[in-house]
Every structure is written in C-alpha cells, then in structure tokens.
A and B are shown apart, each in its own frame.
Chain A
Amino acid sequence: MSGRVLVGVKRVIDYAVKIRVKPDNSGVVTDGVKHSMNPFCEIAVEEAVKLKEKKLIKEVVAVSCGPQQAQETIRTALAMGADRGIHVEVSGKDYETLGPLHVSKILAALAKKEEAQLVILGKQAIDDDCNQTGQMTAALLDWPQGTFASEVSLEGDKIKVVREIDGGLETIKINTPAVLTADLRLNTPRYATLPNIMKAKKKKIANVKPADLGVELTSRLEVLRVDEPPQRLAGIKVETVGDLVSKLKETGKI
C-alpha cells in the first residue's frame, strides 16, 4: 500500500484540567481553559506517522474541524510527523452543535476528495465520549472498520487489526481502504518537541469550509442541560462491628 492516510484530530479541553459547568447549566466553561489534542487522537497520529516511517504509506494528512484555534491542534500533529493539514472551518453556533455525524460526513467527503487509503481516528473524544465518528465515517464511505485497535499490521492490500473488546482481544482482517479507530494501547505517542514544532511551521495547512464539501451542519440534537455529577457523600466511620451492623440495618442494606 503506498497511499495517503487521513488522520482526524480533535481539539478538546486538556485531560488534566478540572472541568467546571457554566452557572446557567448550558454547557461547560471553555473560555480561557487550556485545550490540547485529544489523547486518543495523539495515538492515531502516532500510528499514521509510524506507518509512514516504515514506508508502508506515503503521506499523512491531519484534519481538524473547528474554529481558528483548531489550527494549533493541526500544528501539533504536523510536529509529530504529519505532512500537511486541512482545517475545516466551523465556528460559533455551528461549532457548539457540531457532532459526530457532521464530522463523519466531513471526513468521508475529504477521504474521497484526497483519495485516502486509510482513515485513522481516535476511538473517542474525552469531552463528549461519543465513540461514534469512526464508525459513522466507515458506514458513510461503505468501508470496513477496525475499531478499538490495539495492534495494526498491513499485509499486502489487507489490514490485520487486533481489537480490544470486553471479552479480550479479537483479531480481524479487513480490506483497504478502511477506517481505524485507535485504542489506548496501540502505541506510545511521541512528544512534539520544540525543534519539531519549529520545523512544522513550514508545513501547509489548507483551509476548507463544510459547504465546500457539501456538508450541512444543522443539528438534530439539542442540549437541554448540563450538570455536574452528584457529589460523593462522605463516608461514616464506625467504632465496632456491632455499630457497623446496626448502621447497615438502619439504612436498609441488610
């Protein structure tokens, strides 16, 4: 296989940041909050770059949908080894309601336009935890999918994927072109060091609008309310086993 790989990367709130809900419960506070590339997307980029280093594919194209700041995420992907980037500009109200269905339509259109052999995505984003984009993209393209991939090997014009599923590990062989979604143990993503970031500034990021790809961004979903998870109540300490038993009986547990 000597083709092109499309990697989708998403700009999300950094995993280490403490999330706060807006006072009006309409969403989560994102202004002034540290953002970075979704950890599973980092793993996806790393896999694509690894394939290129093994000379199994020719070009890695990083794609991100979002406002201007999404370009920072594409730059990180370029610093990790992607060859060029595509920024699909989505901002304001459209960005707030952007969901997996829209993104997968965009990715499907781009995959066809760029004549990609492989689309690699992270299995899910740590902000919405949808775990849908990869699957939907594969369905829209009518391509096979290797999701929750913890091991990927190219064998001629087929791909062997070891998937992490609840029961253990499942090994499948799928045709190309295909969509893969990266799971945690697929690889160890490299850090985008300063020299690589400097080099990546020379790489190109193309600008595209969803309308250019024929994608409508109207949402069929409406977020009614966002709440924090219920606070964990403090535990009660008891002195003796007798106390423990009576407390359990009190709360109706036994």
Chain B
Amino acid sequence: MANPLRAEVVRLYKNLLYLGREYPKGGDYFRDRLRAAFIKNKSVQDPERVKELIARGEFVARELEALYYLRKYRAMKKRYYEE
C-alpha cells in the first residue's frame, strides 16, 4: 500500500471502529463487517482506487453520524413534544 495513503486508511479504520460502537445492531456486528470490508480490499494497490475506497469509508462515517443524530432527535421529539 502506498505509504501516505496507508496512514489515511488506518485513520479511517480507527474512526469507523470508534463510530461503530453505538451501532443499533450492536458494536460487534458493525466491527465484524468493518473488518471484513477492509480485509476484502487488502490487496488493492492503485492509489486512485484506494482514494475511492477511502472516500466511500468517509461517506459511511457521515451516514453513521446522521443515523445517530436522527435517532436521538426523534427520541427527544417523541418524549418532550406533544404531536
């Protein structure tokens, strides 16, 4: 793996691992799938392709943040605001 990109990939992995701890189906469920996804692309060498995959990973991170926010917002709205 190209050296500067390797650091980015590791950073992405750690970030996703941290975010995935609160996954609704369980942190373990998320972690297993995260590892599987990264291992599947282990041998990719082309820097362009690697950058594409990193971008996809970052997209997943944003999706997780949105998921967590919506869950919390909806729970608060239901509890405190009468429809």
Main secondary structure of the interface of A (DSSP, over half): loop
Q: How far is the CA of A193 from the CA of B11 in the complex (A)?
A: 11
**A18 CB to closest chain B CB, in angstroms?**
12
What's the count of A-B pairs with C-beta under 8 Å? 32
Q: Which residues on the A side are within 8 Å of B81 (C-beta)?
A: 184
**Could you say which interface size class chain B belongs to?**
10 to 19
**Does B71 lie within 8 Å of A16, measured CB to CB?**
yes
Asked if A194 is at the interface of the complex by the 8 Å CB criterion, the answer is yes
Asked if A95 is at the interface of the complex by the 8 Å CB criterion, the answer is no
The interface-forming segment of B14-22, B31-39, B40-48, B49-57 is: B14-22
**1/0 contact trace for A2-25 toward B, CB 8 Å?**
000000000000011000000000
Residue positions of B touching A, CB distance < 8 A: 11, 14-15, 18-19, 61, 65, 68-69, 71-73, 75-77, 79-81
Q: Which residues on the A side are within 8 Å of B68 (C-beta)?
A: 191
Could you show 11 A-B contacts with beta carbons less than 8 Å apart?
A15-B72, A15-B75, A15-B76, A16-B71, A39-B76, A126-B76, A189-B69, A193-B61, A193-B65, A194-B14, A194-B19
**Does B19 lie within 8 Å of A184, measured CB to CB?**
no
Q: Which residues on the A side are within 8 Å of B73 (C-beta)?
A: 184
